[in-house]
Each structure stands twice: as structure tokens, then as C-alpha cells.
Amino acid sequence: MRRKLVVGNWKMHGSRAANAELLAGITQARPFDCDVAVCVPYPYLADTAVSLATSDLRWGAQDCSAHEQGAYTGEVSVGMLAEFGCRYVIVGHSERRGYHAESDQLVADKAKAALARGVTPIVCVGETLAQREAGETDAVVKRQLSAVIHTLGHCVGEMIVAYEPVWAIGTGRTATPEQAQAVHALLRAQLQAATPKAESMVLLYGGSVKPDNAASLFGQKDIDGGLIGGAALKAADFVAICRAAK
């Protein structure tokens, strides 16, 4: 049976004082019946690494460069992240795809760069409301995942995939458990055609996950946990979501 994973994505939130309080609240609530991680803004990576050094909680970054090094002002390479002991890196979040025009291929290249340095990429896929209403959900997420599958080749089974419908991120709207499961089943079937490890791969759901809907989402056959946004900024809410992932 796949072990559940809950990852908090802090996005562009936090301060040293607030982060310390949040991490203390999460660590004091241990143990959990699932794996737990937080993905934090770059300036707080070192503080987070120190805060979690003696715990079983994991941590990661919210993005990375596809390049190893060079004249890429403002970019951060996976090698730099790995030097801190970074476990995960989110790539292809809809906010990166939308606000920074990241292509499917760039997302795939970032995932490849992460794996090359031993960091697990959490590859995000998802459709907009207009795409869902046009009946294009399956085509969109399959296209996004296909680029990563093609680029990673035999390493496909080493990544984590997160389905985040764009229309449910930060909007208060959430895909029903049945809607989310349908897309997760589609993604797992696509992965099964690419790697023998598909059944053991972790697939996360993200998009307005809260304490009151987490259990019903995580109870679906192909949903192995969540990528949590807003609720990850409140220790009580995040802990409650982690408790729901059994």
C-alpha cells in the first residue's frame, strides 16, 4: 500500500518569526500516520533545515532552474538546493505556468534537473475552469504529463505528480472526491503505460484542501495525499489535514 504524503506549499508567505511558530506547531503534533513536508520560499530554506533537523518532517523548495549553473540572474539551481539537504522541489505549479509562461517542456526539464541531483520533483498538472467546462480536462493533463514522461524516460517512476485544478486553487472551490479521483485514475493509467513503478507512485491532490474535506479526498483509490496551499499556513489546519491522511 502506498504511504500517504502531505506537502505544505507556503507560496510567497512567511517571516522568520511566523515560520518558527508554524513549524513548532507542526512538529509538536507528531507523530503522523503519513509522510509530511513543507515547501518554503528560498530565503527560509536554511532556517527550515535547522528547525526540522532532528524531526522526521521533510522540506523542499517551490521551484528550481532547469540549468545547473551559469548567467541566469535570479535563478536557483537544484545543486544549490541539494547542498542544503532539500528533499523535494515543486515544478510546474499553475502559478508558475500562468504568471511566468512556463511551458510543458520547461517543467519537464526542471523535473529532470531535480532527479539528476537526487531531489524529488513534485510535478504539478491541472486544467483551468474554461478548459474543464469545454471538456478538455483529460487532454490538458495528459499533455502536461506526457512532456515529463518523454523527458524523464526510465526515471519517470521517481517523481511525484500533483493534480491541481487551477479553478480550485485558492478559490474555496474544490473538486469533488469523484472528480479528483477520475483525473488521478487517468494519470495513473498514463503512468502505467510508461513505467512498471506506476502503482507505487505517489499522486497528490491540491486545490482548496481543508480539514473538513481532506479525509474524503484522501480516501479515494488513487489519491495518495495532498499539496496544501492556504491551509498549510495555519498549524492547526495543516495538522488536521495530516491526521486525515491515514
Annotated active-site residue 184? The verdict is: no
Query: Which residues are known binding-site members for substrate?
Result: 9-11, 170, 208, 229-230
Alpha-carbon span 93 to 101, nearest angstrom: 11
DSSP lists the bridge partners of residue 161 as 123, 203
Binding-site residues sit at 9-11, 170, 208, 229-230
Asked if 242 and 228 count as a contact pair (C-beta separation under 8 A), the reply is no
CA gap 185, 205 in Å, rounded: 12
Whether residue 100 lies in the annotated active site: no
Is the bond into 31 cis (omega within 30 degrees of 0)? Answer: yes
Catalytic residue among 83, 93, 136, 178: 93
- Sequence-separated (6 or more) residues with CB below 8 Å from residue 16: 44, 47
Q: Which of 95, 102, 164, 184 is catalytic?
A: 164
C-alpha cell at 144: 502536461
Active site residues: 93, 164
